[in-house]
Copies of this chain bind each other. A is one copy, B any other.
Amino acid sequence: MAKRKKLSGFPEWLPEEKLIEQYFIDKIRQKFELYGFSPLEPRSVEPLDVLLSKGDDKEIYLLNRLHSEKQAEFGLHFDMTVPFARFVEQNRGQLIFPFKRYQIQKAWRGERPQEGRYREFYQADIDVVAENSLDISYDAELPRIILELFAELPVPTFSLKINNRKILSGFYQALGITDTTATLRILDKLDKIGKDAVLKLLIEELAIEPNIAQECLNLAMIKTPDSSFYKKVKDFGYDNELLNQGLDELKFVMDSLSDVKADVYADLSIARGLDYYTGTVFESELAGYERLGSVCSGGRYENLVGDDKLKLPGIGISIGLTRILGPLFKEKRLSANRKTPIAVLVALVSNETKAQANKTANSLRSRNIPTEVYHKAQNYGKQIRAAERKGIAYICFYDPKDANKHEIKDIRTGEQFPIDINTWLLPEADSKITVSLLK
Contacts and interface: CB of A to CB of B under 8 A. Distances in A.
A65 B368 contact: no
Interface in A62-119: 62-68, 72, 74-76, 85-87, 89-91, 94-96, 98, 100-101, 106, 108, 110
A57 interface: yes
Taken together, the copies of this chain in the complex come to 2
Contact of A1 (B41, B45, B86): B86
Given A18-B39, A39-B19, A39-B341, A370 B89 contact: no
A137 to B, nearest CB: 7
A397 B90 CA distance: 35
A330 interface: no
Contacts of A15: 38-40, 95, 101
A225 interface: no
A47 B6 CA distance: 10
Interface stretch (A28-36, A164-172, A243-251): A28-36
A236 interface: no
Interface string A373-388: 0011000000000100
A43 B107 CA distance: 11
A4 B49 CA distance: 11
Interface string A1-40: 1011011001111111011011000000010011111111
Contact of A7 (B22, B45, B72, B100): B45
Contacts of A60: 65-66
Interface residues of A, number: 84
A53 B2 CA distance: 13
A370 B342 CA distance: 29
A65 B119 CA distance: 11
B58 A137 contact: no
Contacts of A278: none
Given A89-B1, A120-B44, A66 B74 contact: no
Contact of A41 (B13, B130, B135, B375): B13
Interface in A364-414: 365, 368-372, 375-376, 386, 389-390
A307 B2 CA distance: 9
Given A10-B45, A135-B375, A372-B100, A57 B67 contact: yes
A71 to B, nearest CB: 11
Nearest to A140: B358
A129 to B, nearest CB: 12
Contact of A58 (B62, B66, B98): B66
A35 B340 CA distance: 11
Contacts of A76: 63
Nearest to A31: B365
User: Closest 7 interchain pairs by CB?
Assistant: A36-B372, A33-B341, A15-B38, A65-B110, A10-B43, A60-B66, A18-B39
